[in-house]
Structure 1
């Protein structure tokens, strides 16, 4: 029996085998996520303390009285379910490379050699860019956001009541995760646009021509997914605009490489046809 590899093997694989392969990859991914969730839940309190550190730093530096800042909960189960969310978030982040590896193992047999070399860097760049976006939130954006809203506190006096922050545990975590996911997803823009350019659904000239519409859309997106203050909105909008310009540059590089890739496709198909005519099936390299 002739052994086939690469795209030829993928073409000859029955649909049922594809579904079985997909199920196996999903089982590996879900099993890894559940296992890591149990581990992360044991350390959920420490993970939450790490996420709450930017708020603690600003509050400790900004308060002039001796009353220490704190987080509160108003529901009996609030802290428990917040820790569950923290554990799931940490597990998903840690397991992200496993998800990407399983995705690669599923799609790689159906790709040509140059397609593998083009697709692999995007899989590697996805978690890195998400981590960069989340780090930007944690170290720069969120402290600025906290300082902006803390400025609305008042000490009271002269018959006026003081206005002080009493942040709930669940609300704080939701805000932090909202910002991290917003920035992390936005930092995937070069990956998405380059892939679209790779398959011909977007061009560098088209993206450059629609730059002004993209900028307007970016500020609308920033207004929706960030707190209603100009600092956080600009902090999200400006990096996205820079990433959009990087996407245009990456699309130009992809467009220059496309003729060579198309020639390689034709050459590979010709090798397949030649192998089928003489009764042999060539193996992809």
Structure 2
């Protein structure tokens, strides 16, 4: 009987490994497909971000320039890879959830389902704030006549300034997911609520440091990302208190 039990155990593990392999293959294939799609619609993707530079008052009609003959190609490849990763993220997340969901109890399943809904809402909020609000203000602030005289033209690098905008939106999306992770940690009693509240001053400093690292090097972008994250941090603690997580 012990031999049969051991055999069943190994078979169970083998089935899990087969399922994990299947999920990984699906994720890799989906990423590759989205990269190809992003490569095909590259110009439309670029237009979404370079439009912010068309309203700059300084300089001539052309705002962005390339500095080498390979810059256009390398930028297109990088844009396609990053866009493919972003577009395939929902499928990656689905595969992760589908893999671990059967092993969760009823309470854990409810917490995870609620977290997914909140995650989607925060993605929309982060895109709205970063793309439609903070990014235009940041570019306008940095190219204002207070810093660049009106009779001085601008020669902006295509790759650098395109990724200035893209990375800001990307890291905003990632950053806005941190409260979801934080609430889940308290829901599963990995982090205690009292500990989170006591460490808030250090977390605030950490948020501002991370914002300074991942955002473009200007105060507007850094504060624009850090302040919402600080608010969401305390909101996560409030949610945990309401539902008695992390006690």
Give the TM bin, normalised by the shorter chain.
0.7 to 0.9
In the other structure, the counterpart of 1:118 is 111
Quote the Cα distance in structure 2 between the aligned partners of 1:135 and 1:69.
27
Change (3 A) 1:18 1:29: same
TM-score, length-normalised on structure 2?
Answer: 0.86
Partner of 1:252: 241
Q: Bigger shift: 229-238 or 122-131? A: 122-131
Deviation at 1:127, TM superposition (A): 4.3
Gap regions ≥5 residues in structure 1 = 1-10, 157-161, 260-285
In the aligned structure 2, how far is the partner of 1:41 from the partner of 1:127? 25
- Greater than 4 Å deviation, 4+ residue runs: none
Per-residue CA deviations over 1:160-186 (Å, capped at 9, x if unaligned) read xx3x32222211232123212321122
When the two structures are superposed, what TM-score results if normalisation uses the length of structure 1? 0.75
Tell me the residue number matched to 2:42: 44
Whole-angstrom CA distance in 2 between matches of 1:13 and 1:134: 45
Match of 2:244, SS state, is: helix
Unaligned runs of at least 5 residues, structure 2: 1-8
Which residue number in structure 2 is paired with residue 53 of structure 1? 51
Shift of 1:113: 2.5
Map 1:186-265; keep pairs closer than 5 Å.
186-255=175-244
Which digits, 9 at most, give the CA deviation of each residue in 1:112-154, with x for residues without a partner? 2222121122234334423422332111111121122212222
Which position in structure 1 is the counterpart of 2:126? 133
Aligned-residue Cα RMSD (Å) equals 2.4
Residues 12 and 115 from structure 1, CA distance in 2 versus in 1: closer, same or farther, beyond 3 angstroms? Answer: farther
The answer as to whether partners of 1:97 and 1:127 remain within 8 angstroms in 2 is no
The answer to whether the 8 Å contact 1:133/1:187 transfers is yes
Contact preservation (8 Å) 2:53, 2:63: no
Corresponding residue of 2:168: 179
Partner of residue 74 from structure 1, selected from 67, 75, 82: 67
